[in-house]
Amino acid sequence: EVTSYTPRYMEEMEAIFEQSQEEERKRISFLKQVFLSIHRHLDITNNESVKAVYSELHQTLMSIDEEDDLKWWKNNLGPGMPTDWPKIEEWVPPVVLGTFFSLIKKNNLNISLCCRVMIGGVKVRALYDYVGEEGDELSFKAGEVFLKVEEEDDQGWCRGVLSGGKEGFYPANYVEVVE
């Protein structure tokens, strides 16, 4: 649905780009005139040692072409340039393990079978007891096996899901991956 707005977005961006191109055209023209005026007023060609530099500066200023500059800008950095638009993917909510486990219990399935099944995570075993200090932290005993569902963050925490379905954070160095 979001991609249906791309053509309108491109049209509006091209209109804005054209407005900025016009302002850039005015700026280039103004600066060229200013530099030429300075060049005329500072005519130091009587001094032979700087005559070549003066002449080269004049040629450089005269070779400025607003249209060529704007054309280059438009082709390389404007609306016609290749873009890498983000790809919109439909969001799929994560599997709620609590519901998964309640279905297993409800249908009298063997819970040990459940623990071997990995759903969106990596099995880890606790090396030490840990008691969560915040509401979003897990508590577990040494030897307990559960799922790691997110990689370690910059502060050394992972997100996991206990066998009962409780989800939360735990210190990454308190567990080891179960092979």
9 and 65 in a common domain: yes
For the cut 80, the answer to whether the pLDDT of residue 90 exceeds it is no
pLDDT at 116: 35
pLDDT at 47: 67
For the cut 90, the answer to whether the pLDDT of residue 93 exceeds it is no
71 and 103 in a common domain: no
* Alpha-helix residue ranges (DSSP H) falling in 42-106: 48-62, 66-77, 97-106
For residue 130, what are the contacts with CB-CB under 8 A and spacing of at least 6?
138, 139, 140, 170, 171, 174
Task: Give the tens place of pLDDT for each residue, 34-75.
Answer: 888 887 777 666 666 677 777 788 888 888 888 888 888 777
Q: What does the pLDDT average to over 131-152?
A: 92
Count of domains forming the chain: 2
Residue 142 forms part of a structural domain: yes
Helix-helix angle 66-77:6-41, to 10 degrees: 150
User: How far is CA 170 from each of CA 93, 95, 141, 147, rounded to the nearest angstrom?
Assistant: 22, 20, 12, 11
* Parent domain of 133: 97-177
68 and 121 in a common domain: no
**Is-above-0.75 flag for pTM?**
no
115 and 67 in a common domain: no
For the cut 90, the answer to whether the pLDDT of residue 175 exceeds it is yes
63 and 12 in a common domain: yes
Identify the DSSP state of 150: E
103 and 70 in a common domain: no
